[in-house]
Amino acid sequence: MSRESGDNLDRNRSGNLPMASVMDLYLSRRSVMRGGLGAAIAMVAGGGLAGCFDNTSAKQEATSAAGGKPTLALGFQSIPGSRTDGCTIAAGYSAYVLAPWGTPLNSAGAAWKADGSNSAADQANAMGMHHDGMHFFPIDGSSEDGLLAINFEYIDQQALHPHGPTVDASGKRPAEEVRKEINAHGAGVVRLKKRDGRWQVVDNDPLNRRFTTASQMDIAGPLRGSEHVKTRFSPDGTRCRGTNNNCGNGYTPWGTYLTCEENWPGIFVNKGTLPADQARIGVVTSTGLYQWESAAGDSSEVADEFTRFNVTARGASATDDYRNEASTFGYIVEIDPYDASTRATKRTALGRVRHEGCCPGLAIAGKPLVWYMGDDSNNEYLYKFVSTAPWDPADANPTDRLATGAKYLDHGTLYVARFDADGKGVWLPLQTATPTLAGSTLGALYSDLPGIILHTRGAADAVGATPMDRPEWTAVNPLNGDAYLTLTNNLVRSADRADHANPRGPNLHGHIIRWHDSDDQLSFTWDIFVYGANASGSSEINRSGLSELNQFASPDGMSFDSRGVLWFETDNSEKSVAGYTNDQLLAVIPTQLLGTDGKQVAVNGQNQIDLRRFFVGPNGCEMTGITFTPDNKTLFINVQHPGNWPFSDKATDATPAGTRVRPRAATVVIQRVDGGEIGTA
């Protein structure tokens, strides 16, 4: 999320305090800390981890010469931090910019103009602002021709318009400016081809397209047709307009993209009494973040395009106004990148929160499919969705991808995680019969499944989920199915509300937690994989023994590649680490971090050389999005909200004195100079 416009306020009033109190009966938190990481895991997790991270088979697969496979090992040396306006990268690699904000995708969009004067229509046909999650979809399996599906998280109004946003004397935003802002949000699909060894955007490719905060979309799953999503635009509650604040992403085994709606509530305003779901998720009552609602009534307004951002109940019924417009946001949205005739589809069964990331578990024939999802605000929860239908590998190449999406993503169970002090955890189903801590049921609280989904956070409160330190991306190890979650930080967690899954209060640096689900999907075992920290931090802060060569804070974007290398990016706001380095990309191979018993261990003082800094972005940026070509020879990452880059190759300050540079988020393409696979030997 942006540091400027993000909203991760603590709106959790549940009082859920899951496990610290239990564990403290036996062991003070300080004694866990003093024991160091290994001791802490042993004490906190007990025997739970032994079975969980039994990694023998994966280790053998990764290293067995007899199996004909090369040893899996990082093939680069960690690089020092950097605080320049350029990228720094490990030796032997190259990096270049591709498709920055404003790059036209077709002939309807004019070339990007450095003075900010592109029109709203230009913006609707060009790369949006603030690149975030993305996924590479190969054409016919190629690693040199494919579609990049990508999120555009939010806007920088100062950079978007020639002189920043304006408001007229009556307090109204100009319609053209509002449309340009609406069109700069959302997601996109862009055809990329490698020519002469270098990736390029294929201008005017028929598969190039944009999804903005105005694009018509279908509502699918439990909310489809329900009273909660009927509006003047869609009286039958089957359609909606737009996706917004698309941050992390996911994908499916049948070749579709999942874009996740994160800090969308701010675009709405409700000047009446907030319903419970809007209060819990953070709809505001004074004025929308960008005042889009103020353009309502403009003589050029079409189909309530601005009116809809005012969700105050004003008409006789829900189909007379837009009181339900905010109920059409907060979802996982499925996009078929391979078929430009399809509409994006909101898969409401996966819950309604501030979604960040939606990583699939391993697709195993005959077993349900699983997606893991964070809700990024202070003290919010980790969720997962388990399909009702077991995975049929014949569905990997369907003729109708969104019909396959309906099969697996519209019917299933949404769960929320409770991390217990003994290193185990429980997935609590958000269903009508689920008992609440107060002795009721979710059905009694919210009537039915659509009601539960609408109030996902409230339902999770009621069943006793564990409040986490801002759950961001999830990732699943292809070698063993272990799942990982970045917990970026939590500045409002007080020390007395620290627990074993979120043991630092406040948590300035963030950490990465991992777990392994039971076969029945109802429980898991967990440990903390690595703690962010400054290298000079005390032992209570620097619990993973990080050095200057891998210190980091605020882990956020994260993905495994197909070989089992875990890559994670940072959105740092901790001043000690930020004083040493700009945001970065690090890599580690979890299945190679083994204890003397051959089982996986966390990053610690003995193995931390295996957690390595690979790339550092330019001043002011946050590293977001990560995806690979099938051959792992191209790595795409995004540089979001750079201070003033790309502009110059100067080593320090890229902005010539006295000039202003309009910053452009961009995708960065990383290749190995010798053409080999990224990151490994």
Closer CB to Ca ion, 293 or 569, in the complex: 569
Is 258 a binder of ligand FEO (CB under 6 A)?
no
Cβ of residue 153: shortest distance to ligand FEO, in angstroms?
Answer: 6
Q: Count of H helices and E strands in the chain?
A: 14, 31
Is 376 a binder of ligand FEO (CB under 6 A)?
yes
Q: Which of 262, 321, 499, 677 binds ligand FEO (CB under 6 A)?
A: 262
| Residue 162: strand pairing partners | 164
Residue 153 binding: pick among ligand FEO, Ca ion, none (C-beta 5-8 Å cut-off by kind):
ligand FEO
- Number of other CB atoms surrounding residue 315 within 10 Å: 12
- Residue 30 identity: R
Cβ of residue 130: shortest distance to ligand FEO, in angstroms?
Answer: 9
Q: Which residue, among 240, 507, 487, has the nearest Cα to 352 in the 3D structure? A: 240
- Residue 164 identity: G
- Residue 600 identity: Q
Nearest-5° Cα angle at 502, 499 to 503: 65
Q: Which residues contact 195 (CB under 8 A, 6 or more apart)?
A: none
Question: Minimal CB distance to ligand FEO: which residue?
Answer: 1
Of residues 219 through 248, those in contact with ligand FEO by CB under 6 A are: 247
Is 358 a binder of ligand FEO (CB under 6 A)?
no
Give every strand in the sheet of 612-616, ordered side by side: 88-89, 612-616, 584-588, 566-570, 555-560
Q: Which of 1, 19, 267, 498 binds Ca ion (CB under 5 A)?
A: 1
Cβ of residue 640: shortest distance to ligand FEO, in angstroms?
Answer: 9
Report residue 275 as tokens.
């319903």
Cβ of residue 376: shortest distance to ligand FEO, in angstroms?
Answer: 3
Gap between the Cα atoms of 378 and 498, Å rounded: 13
Q: Exposed, middle or buried, 279 (CB in 10 Å: 0-12/13-18/19+)?
A: middle
Alpha-carbon torsion 19, 53, 490, 28, what sign?
A: positive
Question: Minimal CB distance to Ca ion: which residue?
Answer: 571
Q: Which of 571, 574, 583, 677 binds Ca ion (CB under 5 A)?
A: 571
Q: Which of 85, 461, 482, 556 binds Ca ion (CB under 5 A)?
A: 556
Closer CB to ligand FEO, 156 or 517, in the complex: 156
Cβ of residue 470: shortest distance to Ca ion, in angstroms?
Answer: 7
| Residue 145: strand pairing partners | 193
Is 1 a binder of ligand FEO (CB under 6 A)?
yes
Cβ of residue 8: shortest distance to ligand FEO, in angstroms?
Answer: 7
Q: How far is CA 248 from the centre of its chain?
A: 2
Cβ of residue 442: shortest distance to ligand FEO, in angstroms?
Answer: 26
Is 380 a binder of ligand FEO (CB under 6 A)?
no
Q: Which of 85, 181, 321, 472 binds ligand FEO (CB under 6 A)?
A: 472
Is 153 a binder of ligand FEO (CB under 6 A)?
yes
Of residues 467 through 506, those in contact with Ca ion by CB under 5 A are: 488
Is 442 in contact with 432 (CB distance < 8 Å)?
Answer: yes
Closer CB to Ca ion, 4 or 392, in the complex: 4
# residues near Ca ion by CB under 5 A = 5
Cβ of residue 360: shortest distance to ligand FEO, in angstroms?
Answer: 19
Buried b (16+ CB within 10 A) or exposed e, 432-469: bebebeeeebbbebbeebbbbbbbbbbbbbbbbbbbbb
Is 562 in contact with 632 (CB distance < 8 Å)?
Answer: yes
Residue 262 binding: pick among Ca ion, ligand FEO, none (C-beta 5-8 Å cut-off by kind):
ligand FEO
Closer CB to ligand FEO, 376 or 469, in the complex: 376
Is 218 a binder of Ca ion (CB under 5 A)?
no
Residue 434 binding: pick among ligand FEO, Ca ion, none (C-beta 5-8 Å cut-off by kind):
none
**HSE-up (13 A, CA, CB side) for residue 127:** 27
Q: Which residues bind ligand FEO (CB under 6 A)?
A: 1, 153, 247, 262, 356, 376, 472, 556
